Chain A
Amino acid sequence: MVHKPRNSLLTAGVNKYSRSQVVAKRVLYKRKPAGAVAVCPAAANKTVEVKGAKNGGSRVIAAAKAPRFYAAEDVALPKKNRKHAGVAKLRSTIVPGTVLILLAGRYRGKRVVFLKQLESGLLLVSGPFKVNGVPLKRVNQAYVIATSTKVELDASKIDAQLNDAYFARPKAAKKAATEEAFFEGEKKKEPLAENKVALQKATDKVILEAVNKVEHLRQYLSAKFSLSKGQAPHALQF
């Protein structure tokens, strides 16, 4: 088992921790011996009766079948990738209720309200739908500009149901679908599930309450962002 080194070198020949200190670091008294783990019974080889006088009476069938095909030369296996990108840190300017400008994608240019950051690092965002047509949506932080405009939102009021699993694509029955879909060609778009529509309305209700309190904020959210002549992004104060 590889983990971070328990000892370090101060100078040649002098370690930071003595032998007994390193042993104490292993914390053996807390760990249970590996043998205590229950071992599931390994599949046993079967012995089968065989007919015929000259066949020796019985055969042993191995529990694990030998592979049918052996490669002529050893095939190199690619090394397993142990690198995972960490979750992106939320910019300090982005706070629940901040109005964001979407820079790319179908809703580019729309001004949208930030709700919360999900476990995957993506930002959960809503138009609100009634105001500018943007539904509850996940968005990458890199494709967003944070404005200084904020909507007064209580972060705890956002439904806990809204997480990455909520946005996962439903797994269609693959086997049956492939042949039919190939011949039919067009995919039928299913209307959004009722509970999702209800959740959208409920979330937007909370946001709209806060939006309607501020003068012009609703119109601001329904207007699109664009650069006009002479405007340069680096000079703009968002």
Chain B
Amino acid sequence: LYAKGRVLGFKRAKRNQRPDISLVQIEGVKTAADTEFYLGKRVAFVYRAKREVNGSKIRCIWGRITRAHGGSGAVKARFRNNLPAKSFGASVRVMMYPS
């Protein structure tokens, strides 16, 4: 019940990067016009950790898709806490809500 996406990196210029906004590529989305459906949708970066928190070793960082990035379907997302740089290339879940 979610679309798969990949974290491409932080918002950046050639030599400076802004870690508060991450770029995400959603599977199957190839043009900026297609991204309109996903704007505002919630995104979850799910990862595993060694230490158990609240009974689970799986943790999640929530965020939302804010706007399109470029003309080929990439998208900018803002997370509650900035994504760790370790997440570049990792999968991200793009939920279908808020619908």
Q: Are B29 and A142 neighbours in the complex by a CB distance under 8 Å?
A: no
Q: Are A108 and B1 neighbours in the complex by a CB distance under 8 Å?
A: yes
Query: With a CB–CB cut-off of 8 A, which chain B residues contact A104?
Result: 1, 95, 97
A65 contacts chain B at the CB level, 8 A cutoff: no
Task: Compute how far the CA of A231 lies from the CA of B26 in the bound complex, rounded to whole angstroms.
Answer: 12
CB within 8 Å for A103 and B95 given contacts A233-B3, A234-B38, A235-B34:
yes
CB within 8 Å for A103 and B28 given contacts A227-B1, A234-B34, A234-B38:
no
Query: With a CB–CB cut-off of 8 A, which chain B residues contact A20?
Result: none
B27 contacts chain A at the CB level, 8 A cutoff: yes
Contact count band on B: 10 to 19
Task: Compute how far the CA of A41 lies from the CA of B58 in the bound complex, rounded to whole angstroms.
Answer: 63
Query: With a CB–CB cut-off of 8 A, which chain A residues contact B70?
Result: none
B55 contacts chain A at the CB level, 8 A cutoff: no
Chain B 72-99 near chain A by CB (<8 Å), digits 1 or 0: 0000000000000000000000011111
Query: With a CB–CB cut-off of 8 A, which chain B residues contact A226?
Result: 1
> Shortest Cβ distance from A237 into chain B, in angstroms?
12
Chain A 125-145 near chain B by CB (<8 Å), digits 1 or 0: 000000000000000011111
Q: Count chain A residues whose beta carbon lies closer than 8 angstroms to a beta carbon of B.
A: 18
Contact check: which of B1, B2, B37, B99 meets A142 at CB < 8 Å? B99
Task: Compute how far the CA of A226 lies from the CA of B3 in the bound complex, rounded to whole angstroms.
Answer: 10
Task: Compute how far the CA of A144 lies from the CA of B37 in the bound complex, rounded to whole angstroms.
Answer: 14
CB within 8 Å for A103 and B34 given contacts A227-B1, A227-B3, A232-B3:
no
Q: Are A143 and B28 neighbours in the complex by a CB distance under 8 Å?
A: no
Q: Are B38 and A103 neighbours in the complex by a CB distance under 8 Å?
A: no
Closest to B4 in A: A227
Task: Compute how far the CA of A142 lies from the CA of B99 in the bound complex, rounded to whole angstroms.
Answer: 5
Q: Are B34 and A143 neighbours in the complex by a CB distance under 8 Å?
A: no
Q: Are A234 and B37 neighbours in the complex by a CB distance under 8 Å?
A: yes
Contact check: which of A141, A142, A144, A235 meets B28 at CB < 8 Å? A235
CB within 8 Å for A142 and B98 given contacts A108-B1, A227-B3:
yes
> Shortest Cβ distance from B87 into chain A, in angstroms?
22
Query: With a CB–CB cut-off of 8 A, which chain B residues contact A109?
Result: 1
Within 8 A of A (CB), among B1-49: 1-3, 26-29, 34-38
Q: Are B99 and A234 neighbours in the complex by a CB distance under 8 Å?
A: no
Task: Compute how far the CA of A142 lies from the CA of B71 in the bound complex, rounded to whole angstroms.
Answer: 28
> Shortest Cβ distance from A57 into chain B, in angstroms?
67
Which residues of A are interface residues toward B (Cβ below 8 A)?
Answer: 103-104, 108-109, 141-145, 225-227, 230-235
Which residues of B are interface residues toward A (Cβ below 8 A)?
Answer: 1-3, 26-29, 34-38, 95-99
- List 4 additional A-B contacts (Cβ < 8 Å) besides A104-B97, A232-B28, A234-B37: A143-B98, A227-B2, A232-B29, A233-B37
